[in-house]
Amino acid sequence: MQERGQRMNKYDLVIIGAGASGLSAGISALKSGIKDVLILEKEDVLGGNLNLFIDNGFGEYYLNKTVTGPELGSILIRDYKALEGKYKLNTRVLEINRDKVITYVNPEEGIQEIEAKAIILAAGCREKYTGNILIPIHKFTGIFTTGSAHRLVNYNGYPKQSDYQSVIGYEYPDWIWGWTNTVTYKNFTLSFTLDGRVGGMAHSKTNQAMWNSGAHIDSDNQWRYDEVVNKKTNFVGSGVKVVSGSVDYDSNGKIIHDNRVFAPNDVQVSYESYMKSTNPYIGTVTRQNVFDETFFKLRDLSLSYQMPKSVCDKLHMKGLTLAFVGQNLFVWTKEFRFTDPDSDSDNLSSPSTRYLGFNVKLDF
C-alpha cells in the first residue's frame, strides 16, 4: 500500500483482464485517442484463454478471417504494445471502490493503489462445474474443465492418457420437473404430460461402442474413406504436441514444474486406430462419451371427442367417445443422441418406444 502522502498513479482507462476482450478494448481505446491505458492481468502472460485454444475459429471480428487462439492472441498483443499500451502481469485486483480507486497486488510492487477515470472489467469467467462441486481451492487436482483439459498429443500422434484419475462431473440432476394438464373445449378434451431433467452426467456406452466398432454415423467421413479405399493414413487429431521442455508432478498429480513448449499436432495417423484408442471397450469411461442428461419429453398425449347426445340417440347409445392417444411422442436431449437419458444410465440401452393408438368407447 502507498505510504501516507505518496502520490497515487492515475490512468485514463484501466482494464482488468488481458484476454481477447481486454486486449481488444485496450486497442480500441488507444486508437480512439485515449492516452493512458493500463491492463492488469493475474497470469504471467498476456492473451488469456486464447493461449489454450489451438483450433481455428478466432479473430473474424478483428482480422476478417479465422485463425487459431494463440495466433489471434499474438496479433492482439503486438498491436496493443505497438500503441504503447501499458500492462502489469502476475497482478491480482483486491478491491475497486466507488471512487474508481483500484487496489492490486503483485510480487514486484506489493499492494498498490491506482486511480482510473474509467474501468473495464474483462476478467472472463470460470466454467461452472457440473453439480456445483464445492472444492475451496484455486487449482483442482484431477478435475478438468473444457478450458483447461485440452488434449495433449504424444509424438506418435495419439492422445496421451493421464496417469491420474479425474472427476469429470456429477451424476445426479440439479432438478427434475413434470407438468400434467387437461384442457376441455366443448366436446374436445386434450390431456398431456410433460416432464424432464436438468443437469446430471452419464456415460453413454452406446456412443462409445459405436465409435469403437465404426458404426457411429460421424465416422463416415473422408479420413475413413481415404484409409479404406485409397490406403492413406492421413488423420491428424486435434490437440498439441510437446516440442521441448518437461513437466514434473507431485504424488497427487499436481504440476510442480512445467517448462514445456507446445505446437499444434501435425502427425498423421490411422483414423481407425485413433478412434479405437480414444474410444476403447465400454468398460473404460472416456470423457468424450460422458454427456449432460438434460432432456424434456412429451410423455403422454390424448385427444378425445365426445359425440353429441343427438348422434348417440340415433345410434341407440348412451354415449360414444373417440380418442387418439400416444406415449413418448417427442423427446429433446441436450447432448444424448442415440439413447434416451430418461433411464438415468446408458448400458447399451435402446431408445424409448413410441406408442400411437386410437380408442373407441361405447356406452349402451
Spatial contact of 205 and 350, defined as CB atoms under 8 Å apart: no
Model confidence pLDDT, tens digit, residues 50-88: 876 766 678 888 888 888 788 888 899 999 999 999 999
From the CA atom positions of the chain, what is the Rg in Å?
30
* pLDDT, average across residues 323-345: 91
Task: Give me the residues paired with residue 198 across strands.
Answer: 175
For 131-221, where are the alpha helices, taking DSSP H only?
205-213
Highest mean pLDDT among 53-67, 158-172, 276-290: 276-290
Q: How confident is the model at residue 252 (pLDDT cuts 50, 70, 90)?
A: confident
Model confidence pLDDT, tens digit, residues 195-204: 999 999 999 9
User: Mean pLDDT for the chain?
Assistant: 85
The pLDDT score that the predictor gives to residue 136 is: 43
H or E element that contains 225: helix 222-228
The pLDDT score that the predictor gives to residue 126 is: 56
Q: How confident is the model at residue 239 (pLDDT cuts 50, 70, 90)?
A: confident
* pLDDT, average across residues 232-250: 84
The pLDDT score that the predictor gives to residue 83 is: 95
- The CA–CA distances, whole Å, from 148 to 18, 201, 246 equal 17, 19, 18
Is 0.75 topped by the overall pTM? no
Query: Strand 110-121's sheet: what is its strand order?
Result: 86-88, 37-40, 9-16, 110-121, 101-106, 92-96
What gap in Å lies between CA 178 and CA 201, rounded to an integer? 20
Is residue 276 pLDDT above 80, yes or no? yes
The pLDDT score that the predictor gives to residue 122 is: 92
The pLDDT score that the predictor gives to residue 152 is: 55
Of 81, 70, 19, the C-alpha closest to 47 is: 19
What gap in Å lies between CA 129 and CA 148, rounded to an integer? 12
Helix-strand-coil split of the chain, %, nearest 5:
20, 35, 45
Which residues, 6+ apart, have CB-to-CB distance to 195 below 8 Å? 176, 177, 178, 179, 296, 297, 299
